[in-house]
A and B are shown apart, each in its own frame.
Chain A
Amino acid sequence: MVRLAWRYLAARPLLTALHIVLLALGAGTIALLLLFTGQAEERLERDARSVDLVVGAKGSPLQLILSSVLHADVPTGNIPLEAVERLAADPMVAEAIPISLGDSYRGFRIVGTQPAFLALHHAAIAQGGIFTGEMEAVLGAQVAKRTGLALGATFAGSHGLAAAGGATHGDHPYKVVGILAPTGSVIDRLVTTPLESVWEVHGTHGAAPQAREVTAVLLRYRTPIAAAVLPRRINATTALLAASPAYEGARLMNLVGVGVDALGVFALVLMASAALSVFIALTSALQERRYDLALLRMLGASPAKLFVLVAAEGMTLVVAGVILGLVVGHVAAEALGRWLAASQTWSLTGIAWAPGEAWLAALALVLGAATCAIPAILAYRRDPASVLLER
């Protein structure tokens, strides 16, 4: 019966293909959304897990987190180095790690910071060692892979954070002293160097300490109570902005989630339309094939076999549509990820499973079974004699 069901599908290749494509569009869209949101949440959580608070120049808290933690936006401005020293001395602060942004190399951000920044991201050295002096650089795994820079190589940064870059600081070349092992976090796409390197490149190294600036400082709390006290104090009593990565990350996902939810609803409507189309096709096929079905009963097929025949036809469409949809969703995610990777701001891969995809497949199968049930039951209950005795 299953083989006969496949023959019926093959006898109408265009209609069969349309049903499968429609189902696949819905399933693929949902798969893509699951991959995107799952990986976005995972990345936010991973990149921000060791940072309790970010302090920077007044402006948008979300922009501060995006630029200083996720390295995906331009900074809000600079803050004086002495602010970092005050924060580091605060009894509620366990660690304060300054970062300086502003330059890049072939689209990869150059981050002036301290060695503790690497430990913050659980980075391990794969080759060479950590920077110890000015103009020494440690490359993230992706940076080394894409640029081809090896230990001992020199390069010059460009002003600005865009892939195209601005004016090149050719008179202040960096030297690669270390390459990190892949971590799966944002540090894979960063070039890290001592703070002094950034000041040297921008001519402020020799300036008075109170004149030196950094972009932001990443803080870890010493006590849980700091979460309730420190941000409020900083925002209310200083010219600085304090933003929580956890809070702003959740807010970002809420903002993104509105669009994702809308797309998700659209995808569900697509799948429901496809299921309805399959239902209509199966039901009309029952009428067209009433002689075939009556003939099969005449040849000895039980009503249950006719049920299986109709159900097999419908479920084949659904299963094929879901499988194609998952493949298309993953291919689309991978293609989108490669396109995003060119801008080094976001990563996405299709070579991974999102947790909700199993539910998607189960939902689609249930939907398919519900779609096939009525036509299959009608086939089960059909009286063969009444058809065969028609004139």
Chain B
Amino acid sequence: MLAIRGLRHDYAGRTVLAIDAWDVPQGEACVVLGPSGSGKSTLLALIAGLLTPTAGTVTVAGREIAALAPAERDRFRARHVGLVLQTLHLIGVLSVDENLRVARELAGLPADVGTLDATLAALGIGALAGRRAAGLSVGEAQRVAIARALVNRPRLILADEPTAALDDESCEKAVRLLRDQAAACGATLVVATHDQRVKPHFARALAL
């Protein structure tokens, strides 16, 4: 599913990330561990096609991301990659279901109510559908962010520091939720974090 070869990314004249080789099969869940500034977020951005590597290749579902034309890369990411950001970031002026609808529409998929409701229900937040995103609690917003990452049934889910600022119990729930939902849609899951509490949940790990 995910294959990295000779990857290097420089920023301001300094190499911020270097990975010789890394493979993650389809449907697997793995964690990328490292302290702040080790390049975890940069790695996720490279995998998602938001950054172009200085050297090397990143191949997702058989497609070399950096070789795609910009418009094709955007379409590929919209359709096949779900992203959960550290800041979660929902579009506050939209409602919960509208945040999911935007993700569907940008992927060129029908934004039917059934799909949106089913995705929200799977995460136990069906009742929040009409609520304005700006008014959600942190826990609710996290679930909505995960729902948005899942709504297009992506092949790859990338989560950047999903447990930041969570207590132990919430951390456990968040990680389990991500793993369960990724497994439910057969997606590969990559979690980037400096949080050592996350490591025991994953058999496969990459240290930066």
Contact = CB atoms under 8 A, between A and B. Distances in A.
B50 A301 contact: no
Contact of A389 (B41, B94, B106): B41
A89 B131 CA distance: 89
Contact of A300 (B77, B87, B92, B94): B77
Interface residues on B, range: 20 to 34
Nearest to A390: B87
Contacts of A212: none
A386 to B, nearest CB: 9
B75 interface: yes
A11 B93 contact: yes
A295 B148 CA distance: 11
Interface residues on A, range: 20 to 34
B158 to A, nearest CB: 10
Nearest to B86: A391
B133 to A, nearest CB: 11
Given A295-B89, A385-B45, A389-B41, A300 B50 contact: no
B89 A299 contact: no
A299 B102 contact: yes
B198 interface: no
A23 B155 CA distance: 49
Interface string A262-283: 0000000000000000000000
Nearest to A389: B41
Given A299-B102, A299-B103, A292 B91 contact: yes
Interface string A354-391: 00000000000000000000000000000011001101
A384 B75 CA distance: 15
B48 A298 contact: yes
B85 interface: yes
Nearest to A295: B89
A8 interface: yes
Contacts of B85: 295, 298, 388
A1 to B, nearest CB: 9
A205 interface: no
A385 B92 CA distance: 20
Contacts of A10: 93
A4 B94 contact: yes
Chain A contact residues, majority secondary structure: helix
Interface in A1-53: 4, 7-8, 10-11
B74 interface: yes
Interface string A231-253: 00000000000000000000000
Interface string B151-194: 00000000000000000000000000000000000000000000
B91 A295 contact: yes
Contacts of B70: 302
Please indicate which of the listed interface residues A7, A10, A388 has the most CB atoms of chain B within 10 Å of its own CB: A388
A385 B49 CA distance: 9
B107 interface: yes
B32 interface: no
Interface in A295-336: 295-302, 305
Contact of A385 (B51, B93, B107): B51
B37 to A, nearest CB: 9
B74 A297 contact: yes
Contact of B45 (A299, A301, A389): A389
Contacts of B103: 299
A149 to B, nearest CB: 63
Interface string B120-144: 0000000000000000000000000
B74 A385 contact: no
Interface string B31-45: 000001000011001
A292 to B, nearest CB: 5
A291 interface: yes
A301 B106 CA distance: 6
A301 B85 CA distance: 17
A295 B103 CA distance: 10
B65 interface: no
A300 B91 contact: no
Interface of A: 4, 7-8, 10-11, 291-292, 295-302, 305, 384-385, 388-389, 391
27 contacts: A4-B94, A7-B93, A8-B93, A11-B92, A11-B93, A292-B91, A295-B85, A295-B89, A298-B48, A298-B50, A298-B77, A299-B83, A299-B103, A300-B74, A300-B75, A300-B77, A300-B78, A301-B78, A301-B106, A302-B70, A302-B71, A302-B74, A384-B50, A385-B51, A388-B50, A389-B42, A391-B36
